[in-house]
C-alpha cells in the first residue's frame, strides 16, 4: 500500500491535488470556524452558488473563470451582507433570491459563449486532480490574504461571532467586520470550487469545523483542529477516489460526512458514560 502511494505521488497532478487540498483545508479551518459559530451556513451557501455568475462571465468575456468567480463572489457577499443588514425582509428569502440570480446569470452567459466548455463541470462538481499550478498560486495568495485579515481583526471577529450587541457596546464596527468576514468566506469559496465544486462547497467549509465544535470550545484550537481534519479528509478522499476510480469531490465530502456522523456518535457515548458515572457516584454517596 505504501509503495502504491509513493508511486502515485510521482505524478505531478497528484502532487498538485494534495497541495490544493492542504491550502483549502487551512482556509476552511479558519473561516469555517466563524461560519459554524456565527451560524451563517446559509449565507455562505448563497455566496458559493452566486459565484457561478462570475464563472459564466469569464467564459463569455474570455478571461479566467477563477478571476471572474473571485470578483462575482465578493460582489455577491457584499450585496447579501448589505441587504441582510439594512432590509426588514427575511434574510433567508433575500439570500435565496440573490443565490438564484447569480446562478441564472452564469448559465445565460455560458449559453451565449462560443466553443465547447470542456472544464465547466469541474467548477460545479470539483476536479481536484486537474488543478493547475497557476490555480495553486491563486489559492496560496488567497490563503495569505485570509490569514492576514484574521490576524488583523481576530478580536473583532471573535466579538461579533459570539455577541454582536456586546460588540457594538464596545465600539466594534460590527457592520464593517461582518463584511470582512463575508469577503473571506467568498475567497474561501473560490478556492473550494476547484476541489469539491460549487455544489458541495458548503459541506467542506463547515463539516471539519462542526466536528471540532463538538469537542473544542476555544476558537484558535477549533481553527487548528478543523484545518488538520480538513487535510485528513481531502487527502484520504483523494487517494480513495484515485484507487477506486471515483469522483474526487464527492468522495472527499462522503469521507467528511461519515466522519461527522462518527464524531456525533462518539460524543454521545462520552456524554452517556459521564452521566452514568455521575449517577453511580450519587448512588454510592447516598
- Domains of the chain, by residue range, sit at 2-285
Contact at 8 Å (CB) between 212 and 225? yes
The predicted structure's pLDDT at residue 48: 85
The predicted structure's pLDDT at residue 271: 79
Q: How many residues belong to the chain?
A: 286
**Does residue 32 register a pLDDT over 70?**
yes
Give the angle subtended at the CA of 185 by the CAs of 216 and 136, to the nearest 5°.
100
**pLDDT above 90 coverage of the chain, percent:** 39
The average pLDDT across 18-42 equals 92
* Per-residue pLDDT reduced to its tens digit, 102-111: 889 998 998 8
Give the angle subtended at the CA of 34 by the CAs of 30 and 37, to the nearest 5°.
135
Q: How far is CA 10 from CA 4, 13, 183, 245, in A?
A: 10, 9, 36, 18
Secondary structure of residue 284 in the 3-state scheme: helix
The average pLDDT across 68-79 equals 90
**Does residue 89 register a pLDDT over 80?**
no
pTM above 0.85, yes or no: yes
Question: 129 or 183: whose pLDDT is higher?
Answer: 183
Contact at 8 Å (CB) between 68 and 54? yes
Q: Which three cell numbers stand for residue 264?
A: 456525533
What is the phi/psi pair of residue 157, to 5°? -65, -40
Q: How many Cβ atoms from other residues are within 10 Å of residue 15's Cβ?
A: 14
Q: How far is CA 120 from CA 66, 193, 203, 250, in A?
A: 11, 11, 21, 17
Split at pLDDT 50, 70, 90, the class of 27 is: very high
DSSP per-residue codes, 136-204: HHHHHHHHHHHHHHHHHTHHHHHHHHH-HHHHHHTT--HHHHHHHHHHHHHHHHHHHHTTT-GGGHHHH
The average pLDDT across 69-85 equals 87
The predicted structure's pLDDT at residue 275: 74
pLDDT mean across residues, the chain: 86
Question: 200 or 263: whose pLDDT is higher?
Answer: 263
The average pLDDT across 239-248 equals 88
What is the phi/psi pair of residue 111, to 5°? -60, -35
Closest Cα to residue 135, out of 199, 196, 195? 195
Overall fold of domain 2-285: ABC transporter involved in vitamin B12 uptake, BtuC (1.10.3470)
The predicted structure's pLDDT at residue 147: 93
In this structure, what is the dihedral angle of CA atoms 267, 188, 204, 125, given to the nearest 10 degrees? Answer: 170
* Per-residue pLDDT reduced to its tens digit, 113-162: 887 665 677 777 778 888 888 888 988 999 999 999 999 999 999 999 98
The predicted structure's pLDDT at residue 270: 79
Question: 275 or 110: whose pLDDT is higher?
Answer: 110
**Does residue 80 register a pLDDT over 90?**
no
The predicted structure's pLDDT at residue 1: 63
**Does residue 249 register a pLDDT over 80?**
yes
| Rounded-to-integer distance, Cα 75 and Cα 56, Å | 15
Amino acid at each position: 500500500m505504501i509503495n502504491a502511494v509513493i508511486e502515485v505521488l510521482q505524478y505531478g497532478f497528484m502532487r498538485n491535488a494534495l497541495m490544493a487540498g492542504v491550502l483549502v483545508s487551512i482556509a476552511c479551518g479558519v473561516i469555517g470556524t466563524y461560519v459554524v459559530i456565527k451560524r451563517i451556513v446559509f449565507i455562505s451557501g448563497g455566496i458559493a452558488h452566486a459565484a457561478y455568475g462570475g464563472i459564466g462571465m469569464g467564459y463569455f468575456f474570455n478571461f479566467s473563470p477563477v478571476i471572474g468567480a473571485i470578483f462575482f463572489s465578493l460582489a455577491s457577499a457584499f450585496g447579501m451582507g448589505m441587504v441582510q443588514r439594512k432590509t426588514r425582509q427575511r434574510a433567508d428569502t433575500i439570500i435565496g433570491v440573490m443565490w438564484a440570480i447569480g446562478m441564472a446569470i452564469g448559465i445565460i452567459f455560458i449559453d451565449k459563449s462560443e466553443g465547447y466548455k470542456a472544464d465547466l463541470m469541474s467548477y460545479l462538481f470539483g476536479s481536484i486532480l486537474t488543478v493547475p499550478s497557476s490555480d495553486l498560486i491563486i489559492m496560496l495568495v488567497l490563503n495569505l490574504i485570509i490569514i492576514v485579515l484574521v490576524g488583523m481583526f481576530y478580536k473583532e471577529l471573535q466579538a461579533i461571532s459570539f455577541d454582536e450587541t456586546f460588540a457594538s457596546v464596545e465600539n466594534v464596527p460590527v457592520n464593517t467586520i461582518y463584511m470582512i468576514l463575508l469577503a473571506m468566506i467568498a475567497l474561501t469559496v473560490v478556492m473550494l470550487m476547484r476541489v469539491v465544486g460549487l455544489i458541495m462547497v458548503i459541506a467542506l467549509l463547515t463539516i471539519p469545523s462542526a466536528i471540532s465544535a463538538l469537542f473544542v470550545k476555544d476558537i484558535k484550537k477549533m481553527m487548528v483542529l478543523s484545518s488538520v481534519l480538513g487535510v485528513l479528509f481531502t487527502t484520504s478522499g483523494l487517494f480513495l477516489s484515485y484507487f477506486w476510480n471515483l469522483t474526487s469531490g464527492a468522495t472527499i465530502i462522503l469521507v467528511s460526512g461519515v466522519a461527522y456522523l462518527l464524531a456525533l456518535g462518539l460524543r454521545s457515548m462520552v456524554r452517556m458514560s459521564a452521566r452514568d458515572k455521575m449517577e453511580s457516584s450519587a448512588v454510592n454517596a447516598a
